[in-house]
Amino acid sequence: MEKLLHFLLFSSFLLPLLTLSSTATAQLRQSYYAGSCPDVESVVRTVVARKMQQSVVAGPGTLRLFFHDCFVRGCDASVMLISSDGNDEWRNPDDTSLAADAFDTVIKAKEALENNKQCANKVSCADILAIAARDVIFLSGGPSYEVELGRIDGKISTKASVRHRLPHPDFNLDQLNSMFAVHGLTQTDMIALSGAHTIGVTHCDKIWRRMYKFGGGRGIDPTMDREFVTRLRKTCSIKFQPTSFVMLDAATPLKFDNLYYQNLQKGMGVLGSDQVLHTDLRSRATVDLFAGNQTAFFEAFVTAVTKLGRVGAKTSGGADGEIRRDCRRVN
């Protein structure tokens, strides 16, 4: 009876989100700006390419910004809003590590579009972020895909809205699956999207306990390769600096490929929530598939990131949506 009640409660919460996602899917379309701003994708890609040349964190940071935005209030660029009283998403502890260069990538792309007479005040920050995330993937060596467009920007951003909405680095498989399921994403989608960790970094505070005090003791997480831990400890010492970080894929940290999954097979997943994908037998087969077949990974990733881009997407204006003139502020 208890399991049945849990299922019913979960379903009553999930159904409205899935219905909203289905509505957005029907209204989002790849050719949305064909008549109003035909140069939108080339303008955004030019800005993204320039930022990636200027900063190694701009690419992975922009991709992470897209994930964080969609998981909280849906893909509405609410993560970019600044509140004068400090009550906004990006100042929640789970978002404060988002890269400044990622925000700047979207802001610069918006400025470029606003300076284009045909595109001025027509392209949402939410759509710019979705396009920029795709461009980061492609420019890093990953797959290219058509982005569904037609989102408008949200007007609300609060610290509290981030709570319990984002995966944590110590999540187990059940916790990961539950969080992604709320957004209509399957376990395969979750594993594919986790592959975005093939580029980027994480700070030492996210992995310190795995290396020094696992399980509240003084040991090392037994799922970690010992030589790998030794290498990580050179950067993440027992008294590391707050700014210390390590690459999530040390072999090819700037290339979007399937080495992330090969690392998991070797016990070289940096985050506990990464390594558990191979440690847990329920997800290991998918990790092994992606590790041995990059094409399968790319195809699954495109499917998953497209589904992610539909989550909570607003497609009509009104009290809760608009096309912002400035991505950091409501009009």
* 280 sits in which H/E element: none
Annotated catalytic residue, options 68, 183, 197, 278 = 68
82, with CB counted inside 10 A (0-12, 13-18, 19+), is middle
Task: Give the number of C-alpha atoms closer than 13 A to the C-alpha of residue 37, restricted to the C-beta side.
Answer: 26
C-beta neighbour count of 238 within 10 angstroms: 9
What tokens does 17 get? 């989100």
Q: Are 313 and 71 in contact (CB under 8 A)?
A: no
Q: Are 69 and 145 in contact (CB under 8 A)?
A: no
- Angle in degrees, 0-180, between the axes of helices 272-279 and 173-181, rounded to the nearest 10: 100
Residue 168 annotated to the active site: no
- Coil, strand or helix: which one is 5? helix
DSSP string for residues in 16-28 = HHHHHHHHHHHH-
The residues that are catalytic are 68
